[in-house]
Structure 1
């Protein structure tokens, strides 16, 4: 880094040493900042929209089963009892197991080809779901869907952490979570239109739901093969000078990266870091509510005595508010560079919403409660994942840590898929109460993570006060690294 700064400070000189000048460090920094803004702006306009679309269609293909449920697909396939909840559970088994391998593949081969293969495969599976005839075939489709969707979200989170400085990662990761929320709104809109369309060409409406959404995501996946860059500093849309700028920015933003080569040592560092496991538990608790909400919102609205048609289109404004709430929270989090502080209000909103849902059977009040849940349920996960990304280095440790945290968070899908059995309708007191309780635990975990980071910083300061220059550790646990709070 020092050598790069020296190279930037010296302007071109004439052959005899005259006619040139030496820029001040302030001028150099200003030039680099302007160049960095231009480069990152290109990533914002070219890469971030692609990431957003990928996440939107991934969650659309995953959660459309909730819309299909109110279409009557259970009856078509002869499902009964807990069959619907079981297929939601089957999805998460390979999803959890394969997240870390997928992210490590993205780290090694780049996001373009790896994620393109994944989305083309899961799109084909979604289309195939529209033609299944038995419950066993549905189970097979859900297992395969979980296998290929597994690495998308943690992989994109890792890519964002590799491109952007820590202070601006929150709003970019928020784009991914907003896409999840918008997938619910778009899913409700598409489902509403398809339900009005009814049976066509001998196929029920729920079959068309899978076929149409799968076809759209198949086209998107094919385009990603050539449009997503392999690494930030070799992106196809950057000129030579911009690539040099990106290389400098990478070194500056990630000064604790020891090497770009794969390291089992860094894998072990991630798996033995208490921060990773505390964050994993926190994300698991908050994701109980999030997965229950995203999968069963049409069911909950239907149980409030809204018709199946109303349940689909009434979910749209709820998800729109969820997107707005996530955007505002993460914008403030980046602006003030405080993660823990911005993690407090989100669980409080979710807890209040579920408390209302548990406490009343009034359908209008219950509908209002869903707005409160939506306003907080996605923003917590966004800021928490950003917090982990900011505080984990080097690169391979971060890639494994993000994958582990998100995969354990996604394990909540196993529990959430069983929390709303049909026999608990119409109030679904068990599911709403569990969501409330786990959200309270998520709030508690914010304090525990803060205590851990505070303890580490005190340990580092104590060594520095003694005049010790190094503790022999690397990455975020080195003496020079300062944790983001």
Structure 2
């Protein structure tokens, strides 16, 4: 038998004999050396373009936030805040003749299409492949970003923001889904960390880029705010076009694999068919996702923990400016906070993968966030408030990343995951609208109400994790009881099938 061939054997192992979150009935032998070599190629050739795409998307969609002047404008998405919320408005409102709350309306218009289209985009990746679907999406949002620099009125601004939300809708859930189809469950958290790592990078440097472009002033008859969109949009078109060429369509036909490695990926797909499923009857799996109560409990959890994420992006520059620094200096001082957040994110996700468990780390990460917001609420001392932001940053990103990974790990087969993951994300993203109402500019500079709500919702997110753990643990226990009784099938499919062990 060649290295790329598979061998299928029956197995009657118990829950304690297998890695959590896997199917027990089928054991297929693959050459581990070849498998590791093949997966290292995905780390080398797939993750870098995905990282570039994410970073560009975060910078593109946070441009409007960079025009906000210490106000709690809803910044598009729970994963794409612009933490440099202290950037000046350099002609945007005057250039479009905006009045009243029209700036807020323009920003909020990102949401409707974004929330509605997350699931269809992810299902399209499952049906047509990542290369074609993400390629169209990322070039389209880059063109829209550049076109934003040439708009002239309120109506055009609304139309462009709606279109931007429509084309960026599937980015995060699509990437989570792609990662879930390539790497084993215990190896996914550190790959999903690129989503939040790129957010940290865009948070640390997005405001500085805006300030640098602002210093250009009016050039060729175009105001500085227009150049912000034009330059970043043009850069995105070029880089996203390159990434389009580098993306594989499916894991089994990736251009960077040789014939033996492609056969390995096909063998892995066959090995995982019990929980990945086939491409037949997608409506059945869609119904499975829409009727799974755990998806909605996860959405509530994401909703709760995303409100502190907004609060973090809004409050951080304000507390730093309160120390007596200028807006530009405040941007520099946010960088250490995001550096720590990135280090914590990497440490937490690698630890979770090493433990092959999600819940132990998920239960730890909200604690510093809650403590940080309590400190921010309980004292007016700016040094203490700044230190509290390190605590918040240290937990927010890691918690959200591990929650995404945990939910993805426990949804099967692929079609159910392609619906369930974006569904829970889009429901959680409604928090973007809610959070804009708890940080009114009138509460500056301390935002006591907003930070108190953030502490409370992070605690609720922690409680939701406990509830999800109890529900999945109960399902595992019931399945184990049936197996010990000699039952061969419980009549269910996907992750609810008798052989699937939920990852706790």
Q: CA-to-partner distance for each residue in 1:341-398, whole Å, 9 max, x for gaps?
A: 1112221121122222222333333222222211111111111111111111111001
CA contact (8 A) 1:123 1:214 kept: yes
CA contact (8 A) 2:318 2:445 kept: no
Residue of structure 1 in register with 2:59 after alignment? 60
Residue of structure 2 in register with 1:19 after alignment? none
**Matched residues in 1 for 2:502 and 2:489: separation?**
17
Question: 1:292: Cα distance to partner?
Answer: 3.6
Residue of structure 1 in register with 2:38 after alignment? 39
**Matched residues in 1 for 2:373 and 2:99: separation?**
27
**Matched residues in 1 for 2:449 and 2:124: separation?**
39
**Aligned residue among 387, 407, 413 for 1:388:** 407
**Aligned residue among 204, 211, 216 for 2:235:** 216
CA gap of 1:279–1:82, structure 2 versus 1, over 3 A, is: same
After superposition, residues 110-259 of structure 1 pair within 5 angstroms as 110-259=129-278
1:71 counterpart = 2:71: no
**Matched residues in 2 for 1:417 and 1:297: separation?**
15
CA gap of 1:244–1:308, structure 2 versus 1, over 3 A, is: same
Residue of structure 1 in register with 2:79 after alignment? none
Question: 1:474: Cα distance to partner?
Answer: 1.2
**Matched residues in 2 for 1:90 and 1:358: separation?**
31
Give the number of aligned pairs. 463
CA contact (8 A) 1:195 1:309 kept: no
**Aligned residue among 341, 349, 354 for 2:373:** 354
CA contact (8 A) 2:277 2:415 kept: no
Q: Which runs of 4+ in 1 moved over 6 A?
A: none
**Aligned residue among 365, 384, 405 for 2:384:** 365
**Matched residues in 1 for 2:54 and 2:192: separation?**
11
Of stretches 318-327 and 159-168 in structure 1, the one that deviates more from structure 2 is: 318-327
CA contact (8 A) 1:67 1:298 kept: no
Question: 1:262: Cα distance to partner?
Answer: 4.9
**Aligned residue among 343, 348, 362 for 1:329:** 348
CA contact (8 A) 1:127 1:212 kept: yes
CA contact (8 A) 1:71 1:206 kept: no
Secondary structure (helix, strand or coil) at the match of 1:197 reads coil
Question: 1:301: Cα distance to partner?
Answer: 4.3
Larger relative helix fraction: 1
**Matched residues in 1 for 2:316 and 2:105: separation?**
17
**Matched residues in 1 for 2:6 and 2:451: separation?**
55
**Matched residues in 2 for 1:205 and 1:318: separation?**
28
**Matched residues in 2 for 1:205 and 1:36: separation?**
51
Secondary structure (helix, strand or coil) at the match of 2:6 reads helix
Secondary structure (helix, strand or coil) at the match of 2:373 reads helix
Question: 1:296: Cα distance to partner?
Answer: 6.1
CA contact (8 A) 1:66 1:295 kept: no
**Aligned residue among 422, 443, 446 for 1:424:** 443
1:406 counterpart = 2:425: yes
Residue of structure 2 in register with 1:16 after alignment? none
User: Unaligned regions of 5+ residues in structure 1, if any?
Assistant: 9-27
- Give the TM-score of the pair, scaled to structure 2: 0.87
Residue of structure 2 in register with 1:22 after alignment? none
Of stretches 276-285 and 416-425 in structure 1, the one that deviates more from structure 2 is: 416-425
1:452 counterpart = 2:471: yes
Alignment root-mean-square deviation, CA: 2.2
Secondary structure (helix, strand or coil) at the match of 1:244 reads helix
Q: CA-to-partner distance for each residue in 1:418-466, whole Å, 9 max, x for gaps?
A: 3322222122222222211111110111100010011101211222222
Secondary structure (helix, strand or coil) at the match of 1:344 reads helix
Question: 1:299: Cα distance to partner?
Answer: 5.3
Question: 1:202: Cα distance to partner?
Answer: 3.6
CA contact (8 A) 2:349 2:398 kept: yes
**Matched residues in 2 for 1:180 and 1:103: separation?**
20
Q: CA-to-partner distance for each residue in 1:135-154, whole Å, 9 max, x for gaps?
A: 33322222111111000110
**Matched residues in 2 for 1:411 and 1:94: separation?**
12
**Matched residues in 2 for 1:195 and 1:105: separation?**
39
CA contact (8 A) 2:373 2:452 kept: yes
CA contact (8 A) 2:319 2:382 kept: no
**Matched residues in 2 for 1:235 and 1:280: separation?**
33
CA gap of 1:231–1:174, structure 2 versus 1, over 3 A, is: same
Question: 1:63: Cα distance to partner?
Answer: 1.7
- Give the TM-score of the pair, scaled to structure 1: 0.90
